[in-house]
């Protein structure tokens, strides 16, 4: 069984965001694999270690910089990579079209992805890929079981846990609590350098959504701070909750 | 017919609050508001939607719609869009709403604004504000199409009661069971007497400073007194004191309550990403330098094991 994992390169979650010339400034920002995609890579590698998968291919659409994200996934244990060169400003539609075309050419049995990207937070691309390829999709998964051409996953749904079964091939998107991604070992990093990565051009796809304005949210101002005996502080906090916030007390 | 369609969400007759939030928000825009409810035995809910401003309620009832499934819901929506040409269709940014909207947008080869926190609609066009980089920046995006498509973040729009006629209509059913291509084996609701994180007016969270289940119990007492949802930082979730579904932050839930109370949470940037847009923030932390105080309206430098029980006693008075 061939597993393909979609990895998006994103800003480090610690990154400070600044706007320059009407764009999010990326100078000096540390780039990482989207945390959810790192979990998906780990999930793919574990399927291979269990003997369920035979090959784990990682796929990223983006600039040349995204090669680092691919190499990191290879160092974790993925077998080979594909970088589709695409403007990082492409919207969800354009990215899904481009990724779906690359996936179709690989014809995997299972496509893994993250359920959301930490930068644009849009949660659309895997679902769109599934629609383009006419495949089922299970989202926000915390476990996976593969048997008899079917995948069965637990998902973190609103207000509960859902168990969903689909026929493969399928697209499946991760929640971070699925697993704990491994750190690449020294040996893994050395081996990754020799693993094949194909660079391909993106198929034509125009963005549909236009960003018309970017801004930074108003910085939240710190308010009252009490450093006093606990009973005094608790009384003041209680007063603030009742009179300013106007909380309701359940007796 | 044009109008703004709101795809409301319910499970076993329990209507999600975000449904009312979206109806109330759409009502402000001025176009006719149509609540679209999929399900089985849901016609009786129509009056509920009308209470918050739905001019019409489109009841899509059939066995195949008893529970959300991608194929049938999308096929039915495509047929209804063709028949009625709504100007915009808004979904909730929830587990099912995201799936529904993204599939539909791709089927129509259109753009989609997900997780919108502010909405402006005009004929064939929507400008939606989105919070990107985990709340560190705001983007206004323009989406065109017929209909204009977006998902709306729960908890950001106000619920405004206001009676409307709420005339019910039932569209022809186009989807069939053959369209279903995933099987939901089970849905186990989280058993909790507390409200859900993304719907609660008050959220009380515990972090590593709780030191263990006993500290979490103290935080829970405060939560229950305030009728609040319980949340946590990644440290308390990774320690196994709370379930992952209760994590607040960049890789957890984004919450927008009226009041957020952080107990024993340092305020790492990834945690702030999930709660800094709360209307009021209070924090209890022993470390006067903790970054959580930079975003707190009311900070107490102190030991949560002392301050929180005393706060509970004071609030009870
Ligand atoms: C990719 C990525 C994603 C992440 N996503 C998230 C996320 O979604 N959510 C999240 O929360 N974190 C996330 N994190 C982790 C984050 O960086 C922090 O490690 C985490 O938020 C720390 O949790 P904490 O504040 O409970 O613990 P700590 O940072 O250890 O803080 C504990 C606090 O408790 C205080 N304290 C100790 N004793 C007491 C006492 N008796 N009374 C009162 N206060 C006391 C201390 O002064 C301290 O400030 C993420 C990290 C990464 C790298
Ligand atoms: N440019 C990209 N390259 C590879 N995978 C991507 C890309 N954009 C999105 N994805 C995948 O889609 C998931 C959700 O992204 P998004 O819809 O942008 O929130 C990510 O976690 C990735 O797995």
- For the stretch A167-216, pLDDT in tens is 999 999 999 999 999 999 999 999 999 999 999 999 999 999 999 999 99
Counted across chains A and B, CB pairs separated by less than 8 A come out at: 269
Decide: residue A103, CB within 10 A, 0-12 exposed, 13-18 middle, 19+ buried: buried
Q: Mean pLDDT across the stretch A38-62? A: 98
**CA of A116 relative to ligand 2 center, distance in Å:** 7
Subunit contact A92:B112, Cβ cutoff 8 A: yes
Cβ of A60 closer than 6 Å to ligand 2, yes or no, is yes
- Give rounded-to-5 percent helix, strand, coil for chain A: 30, 30, 35
Cβ of A43 closer than 6 Å to ligand 2, yes or no, is no
Subunit contact B141:A214, Cβ cutoff 8 A: no
CA distance B165 to chain A (A): 31
Helix (H) and strand (E) counts in chain A? 6, 15
Q: Does A216 touch chain B (CB under 8 A)?
A: yes
For residue A55, pLDDT over 80 is answered with yes
**CA of B155 relative to ligand 2 center, distance in Å:** 25
What's the confidence (pLDDT) of residue A159?
A: 86
Of chain B, the percentage scoring pLDDT greater than 90 comes to 88
Q: Does A177 touch chain B (CB under 8 A)?
A: yes
Cβ of B305 closer than 6 Å to ligand 1, yes or no, is yes
* pLDDT tens per residue across span B31-52: 999 999 999 999 999 999 999 9
CA distance B262 to chain A (A): 13
Q: Please tell me the distance from the alpha carbon of residue A237 to that of residue B284, in angstroms, as a whole number.
A: 10
More confident residue, B138 or B180: B138
* pLDDT tens per residue across span A71-108: 999 999 999 999 999 999 999 999 999 999 999 999 99
- CB-based contacts of A156: which residues, under 8 Å, 6+ apart? A140, A142, A175, A177, B95, B244, B245
CA distance B98 to chain A (A): 7
Q: Report yes or no: B202 and A241 within 8 Å, Cβ to Cβ.
A: no
Closest CA to A151 of A169, A131, A177, A178: A169
Q: Report yes or no: B42 and B13 within 8 Å, Cβ to Cβ.
A: yes
pLDDT tier for residue B164 given thresholds of 50, 70 and 90: confident
> Under DSSP, is residue B232 helix (H, G, I), strand (E, B) or coil?
strand
Residue environment code for B70-87, b if the CB has 16+ CB neighbours within 10 A, otherwise e: bbbbbbbbbebbeebebb
**CA of B42 relative to ligand 2 center, distance in Å:** 36
pLDDT tier for residue B166 given thresholds of 50, 70 and 90: confident
Q: How far apart are the first and last CA of chain A?
A: 58
Instruction: Tell me how long chain B is.
Output: 317
Residue B299 phi/psi, 5° resolution? -115, 135
* pLDDT tens per residue across span B208-223: 999 999 999 999 999 9
Which among B10, B14, B91, B95 is the top mutation candidate for probing chain A, defined by the most A β-carbons within 10 Å of its own β-carbon? Answer: B95
For residue B233, pLDDT over 90 is answered with yes
Q: Please tell me the distance from the alpha carbon of residue B187 to that of residue B217, in angstroms, as a whole number.
A: 28
Contacts of B307 in chain A (CB under 8 A): 230, 233-234, 237
Q: Does A128 touch chain B (CB under 8 A)?
A: yes
Please confirm whether the linkage preceding B309 is cis (ω < 30° from 0). no
Closest CA to B17 of B114, B25, A101: B25
Neighbours of A47 (CB within 10 A): 19
Subunit contact A158:B141, Cβ cutoff 8 A: no
- CB-based contacts of B270: which residues, under 8 Å, 6+ apart? A13, A14, B134, B234, B249, B250, B251
Pick the CATH number of A2-201 from 1.10.3720.10, 3.20.20.70, 3.40.50.620, 3.40.50.920: 3.40.50.620
Q: Which domains does chain B have, with CATH numbers?
A: 4-179 (3.40.50.620), 197-316 (3.40.50.1220)
- The three-point CA angle A103-B71-A177 to 5° equals 60
Query: What are B189's strand-pairing partners?
Result: A160
Cβ of A35 closer than 6 Å to ligand 1, yes or no, is yes
Q: Please tell me the distance from the alpha carbon of residue A245 to that of residue B279, in angstroms, as a whole number.
A: 9
* pLDDT tens per residue across span B67-86: 999 999 999 999 999 999 99
What's the pTM? 0.95
Write down the residue that tokens 């107990």 correspond to. Answer: B263
Subunit contact A132:B96, Cβ cutoff 8 A: no
What's the confidence (pLDDT) of residue B152?
A: 97
What's the confidence (pLDDT) of residue A77?
A: 98
Q: Please tell me the distance from the alpha carbon of residue B5 to that of residue B90, in angstroms, as a whole number.
A: 6
Q: Please tell me the distance from the alpha carbon of residue B278 to that of residue B256, in angstroms, as a whole number.
A: 5
For residue A62, pLDDT over 90 is answered with yes
What's the confidence (pLDDT) of residue B1?
A: 46
Structure tokens at B63: 């066995």
Subunit contact B300:A226, Cβ cutoff 8 A: yes
Out of A24, A35, A136, name the one closest to residue B181 (CB).
A136
* pLDDT tens per residue across span B182-207: 999 999 998 888 999 988 999 999 99
Instruction: Please compute, for residue B82, the number of CA atoms within 13 A of its CA located in the half-sphere on the CB side.
Output: 12
CA distances from A109 to A4, A49, A102, A170, B283 (A): 8, 17, 14, 7, 48
Neighbours of A16 (CB within 10 A): 12
Of chain A, the percentage scoring pLDDT greater than 90 comes to 95
Subunit contact B187:A162, Cβ cutoff 8 A: yes
Write down the residue that tokens 């263990």 correspond to. Answer: B212
Q: Report yes or no: A187 and A77 within 8 Å, Cβ to Cβ.
A: no
CA distance B221 to chain A (A): 11
Q: Does A20 touch chain B (CB under 8 A)?
A: no
For residue A251, pLDDT over 80 is answered with no
Closest CA to B232 of B204, B202, B254, B268: B204
Write down the residue that tokens 């179709």 correspond to. Answer: A104
Which among A210, A241, A248, A250 is the top mutation candidate for probing chain B, defined by the most B β-carbons within 10 Å of its own β-carbon? Answer: A241
Structure tokens at B124: 């064939």
What's the confidence (pLDDT) of residue A106?
A: 98
Tell which one of A126, A133, A209, A211 to mutate to probe ligand 2, the residue whose CB is within 8 A of the most ligand atoms: A126
* B-proximal residues of A, 70-99, CB under 8 Å: 91-93, 96
Q: Does A214 touch chain B (CB under 8 A)?
A: yes
Give the distance from CA A112 to its chain's centroid.
10
Q: Report yes or no: B160 and B27 within 8 Å, Cβ to Cβ.
A: yes
Element at B17 (helix H, strand E): helix B17-29
Out of A128, A163, A237, name the one closest to residue B311 (CB).
A237
- CA torsion sign for B172, B178, B182, B188 is positive
Contacts of B230 in chain A (CB under 8 A): none
pLDDT tier for residue A39 given thresholds of 50, 70 and 90: very high
Mean pLDDT of chain B: 95
Element at B220 (helix H, strand E): helix B213-225
For residue A135, pLDDT over 50 is answered with yes
Residue environment code for B110-143, b if the CB has 16+ CB neighbours within 10 A, otherwise e: bbbbbbbbbbebeeeebbbbbbbbbbbbbbbbbb
Q: Does A34 touch chain B (CB under 8 A)?
A: no
Mean pLDDT of chain A: 96
Give the distance from CA B7 to its chain's centroid.
13
Map out the domains of chain A as residue ranges.
2-201, 221-251
Decide: residue A129, CB within 10 A, 0-12 exposed, 13-18 middle, 19+ buried: buried
Q: Does A230 touch chain B (CB under 8 A)?
A: yes
CA distance B188 to chain A (A): 5
For residue B310, pLDDT over 70 is answered with yes
What's the confidence (pLDDT) of residue B162?
A: 82
Contacts of A208 in chain B (CB under 8 A): 109-111, 143-145
């Amino acid at each position: 069984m061939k597993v393909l994992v979609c990895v998006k390169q994103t800003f480090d979650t610690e990154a400070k965001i600044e706007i320059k010339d009407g764009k999010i400034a990326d100078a000096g920002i540390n780039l990482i694999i989207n945390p959810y995609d790192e979990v998906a890579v780990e999930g793919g590698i574990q399927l291979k270690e269990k003997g369920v998968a035979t090959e784990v291919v990682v796929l990223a659409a983006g600039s040349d910089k995204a090669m680092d994200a691919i190499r990191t996934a290879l160092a974790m244990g993925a077998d080979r990579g594909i970088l589709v060169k695409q403007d990082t400003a492409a919207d969800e539609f354009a990215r899904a079209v481009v990724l779906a075309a690359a996936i179709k050419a690989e014809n995997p049995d299972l496509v893994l992805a993250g359920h959301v990207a930490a930068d644009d937070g849009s949660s659309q691309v895997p679902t769109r890929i599934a629609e383009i390829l006419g495949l089922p999709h299970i989202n926000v998964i915390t476990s996976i079981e593969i048997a008899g051409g079917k995948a069965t996953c637990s998902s973190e749904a609103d207000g509960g846990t859902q168990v969903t079964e689909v026929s493969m091939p399928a697209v499946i998107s991760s929640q971070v609590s699925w697993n704990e991604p491994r750190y690449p070992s020294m040996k893994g990093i050395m081996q990754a350098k020799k693993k094949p990565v194909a660079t391909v051009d993106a198929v034509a796809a125009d963005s549909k959504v236009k960003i018309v304005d970017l801004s930074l949210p108003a910085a939240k101002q710190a308010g009252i701070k009490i450093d006093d005996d606990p009973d005094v502080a608790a009384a003041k906090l209680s007063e603030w909750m009742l009179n300013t916030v106007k909380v309701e007390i359940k007796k | 017919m044009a109008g703004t369609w709101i795809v409301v969400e319910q499970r076993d007759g329990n209507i999600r609050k975000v449904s009312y939030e979206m109806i109330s928000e759409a009502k402000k825009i001025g176009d006719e508001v149509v609540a679209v409810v999929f399900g089985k035995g849901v016609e009786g809910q129509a009056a509920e939607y009308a209470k918050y401003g739905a001019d019409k309620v489109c009841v899509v009832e059939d066995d195949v719609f008893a529970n959300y499934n991608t194929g049938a819901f999308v096929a039915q929506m495509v047929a209804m869009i063709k028949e009625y040409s709504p100007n915009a269709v808004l979904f909730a940014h929830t587990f099912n709403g995201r799936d529904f909207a993204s599939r539909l947008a791709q089927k129509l080869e259109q753009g989609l604004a997900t997780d919108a926190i502010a909405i402006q609609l005009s004929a064939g066009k929507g400008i939606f504000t989105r919070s990107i980089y985990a709340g560190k920046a705001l983007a206004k995006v323009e989406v065109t199409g017929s209909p204009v498509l977006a998902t709306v973040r729960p908890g950001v729009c106000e619920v405004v009661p206001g009676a409307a006629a709420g005339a019910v209509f039932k569209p022809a059913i186009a989807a069939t069971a053959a369209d279903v291509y995933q099987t939901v084996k089970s849905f186990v609701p989280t058993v909790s007497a507390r409200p859900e994180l993304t719907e609660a007016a008050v959220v009380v969270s515990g972090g590593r400073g709780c030191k263990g289940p006993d500290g979490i119990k103290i935080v829970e007492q405060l939560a229950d007194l305030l009728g609040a949802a319980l949340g946590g930082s990644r440290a308390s979730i990774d320690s196994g004191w709370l379930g992952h579904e209760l994590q607040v932050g960049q890789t957890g839930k984004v919450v927008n309550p009226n009041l957020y109370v952080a107990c024993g949470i340092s305020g790492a940037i990834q945690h702030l990403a999930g709660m800094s847009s709360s209307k009021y923030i209070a924090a209890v932390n022993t470390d006067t330098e903790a970054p959580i105080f930079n975003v707190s309206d009311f900070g107490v430098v102190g030991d949560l094991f002392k301050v929180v029980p005393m706060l509970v006693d004071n609030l009870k008075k």
